[in-house]
Amino acid sequence: MQNFIGNLSRRTLFKFSAVAGTLATLGTSASSAFAARVNKKGTGKMTYWNHFTGAPERAAFAETTEAFKKASPAIQADIQTVTNDDWMAKYIASTTAKSGPDAVMIDVSRFTDMQRIGGLRDITTYNKQWPGKDSVAGDTAAFTAARKVYGVPFFTFIDWGYYRKDFFEAAGIKKEPTTLEEFREAAIACTNPSKGQYGFAMRGGSGGGGFIVNALHAVNGSIISPSYKATLSLDAAVEAMRFWVNLAVKDKAVVPTVATDGYAQIFSNFYTGKAAMVFHHCGSFIDVGKNLKYGSEVMTLARPKGPKDQYGFQAPLANGVFQHTKNPDAAFEYCSFLGSASAQTIFLKATGYFPTSTDAAKDSFIADNRQFDTAIAGLGTLPKTYTFPGLTAWRDLTCLPEFQRCLTGSQTPERAAKVIVDKLNTVAKAAAVANRKYYESKR
């Protein structure tokens, strides 16, 4: 074998050495540049919109804001609340005016609408350079469109219910209801109008549309395909509407003020003994424990099963950067702070909202609370919630009003079901067309 090195002249070796040295220098510089790719620290005022109005959430935000001040003293965080009823209208107006908050809360059911409207900023680069991204990566895909990230996961809504253990015992109910029919029977058994006591605190006022979607899904199964084809049958919709309406109208197992009862009212009814059961999610866990004693007075309850699926969903929530912010660095710094284990643990212990951070989910608070076994089980059984263009408008402006009309007798469950199915078909067709146009524009 020839001695290749030996056949090289000193001048050639010198040239190789010079090139190698240059490459080494370039490599070092490139490595340094790559290592330096971190998010710029934010400064100045940062405004954040959320849609929480409950006292526990407000207290949790106050606590996380204090923690954020210590973590990022150069940023002045202004935390503002916009009610759910006003959320989309105000978001659209701000996007149109190109003037609004710096950071914004993103409910996954609204994500597609919010992203398509154009008020969310692509934070893919920010997210890649954020050290904490892996801990919440399991839910990041829910806030991703066309491979672009728009939200940092904060926590997960896990639907469940609560029941008054003392009321169940008084009614002779020895087994927690696991099906919709067992739930109905328990509600009827716990109802005693002469004592002002009813089986269920139903949410038929503000925020009640989601429970209609729950019922439709539980009876029908999936109501829309990934390609935005409506799959809700009229027969299933009729069955679902009859069940939900008749709990109040025929069985009279629901607190009579149902048509106007929102979040505050259903829990007031539950706490004061007017209702034996109430449906919500794990975010009310701490507040319920402050009003009733777990184990002896109140217990968490898995959502009952319908003919096709469970009555309820799991739904992650995130925070994102507003498209027209003048302070994106501070906005992402706040969003990523809320995505951290420390902030999510604060919120968990103050409210009960289940963290999206895998590190926060290991906190002993969850393991030490047996009532949280219901939430952990729900992560494995509850379907993922829907998010498609037009969902929130259909839910809040068609499903809920039709249900309310049934409660007052101006509509029948059968006719309401027809209106709901027809409107979903219209929404689905429009969503499919909009989806094609959206991706064609990205080519």
Q: Tens of pLDDT along 244-286?
A: 999 999 999 999 999 999 999 999 999 999 999 999 999 999 9
C-alpha pair distances (Å), 220 with each of 2, 117, 242, 417: 78, 30, 13, 12
Give the 3-state secondary structure of 368-434: HCHHHHHHHHHHHHCCECCCCCCHHHHHHHHHHHHHHHHHHCCCCHHHHHHHHHHHHHHHHHHHHHH
Residue 258 confidence (pLDDT):
98
Give 280-334 pLDDT, tens digit per residue. Answer: 999 999 999 999 999 999 999 999 999 999 999 999 999 999 999 999 999 999 9
Report yes or no: 198 and 272 within 8 Å, Cβ to Cβ.
no
pLDDT category, 440, cuts 50, 70, 90?
Answer: low
Residue 9 tokens, joined:
């002249």
Identity of the amino acid at 339:
G
Complete domains list, the chain, with CATH = 44-156+315-381 (3.40.190.10), 158-314+387-441 (3.40.190.10)
Question: What is the C-alpha to C-alpha distance for residues 284 and 222, in angstroms, rounded to an integer?
Answer: 27
Identity of the amino acid at 37:
R
What end-to-end distance do the CA atoms of the chain give, in Å? Answer: 56
Query: pTM for the complete prediction?
Result: 0.87
Question: What is the C-alpha to C-alpha distance for residues 404 and 97, in angstroms, rounded to an integer?
Answer: 34
Average pLDDT over residues 189-203: 98
Give 204-256 pLDDT, tens digit per residue. Answer: 999 999 999 999 999 999 999 999 999 999 999 999 999 999 999 999 999 99
6 Cβ neighbours under 8 A, 6+ residues apart:
none
* Dihedral of alpha carbons 107, 109, 114, 116, sign: positive
pLDDT category, 5, cuts 50, 70, 90?
Answer: very low
Residue 437 confidence (pLDDT):
75
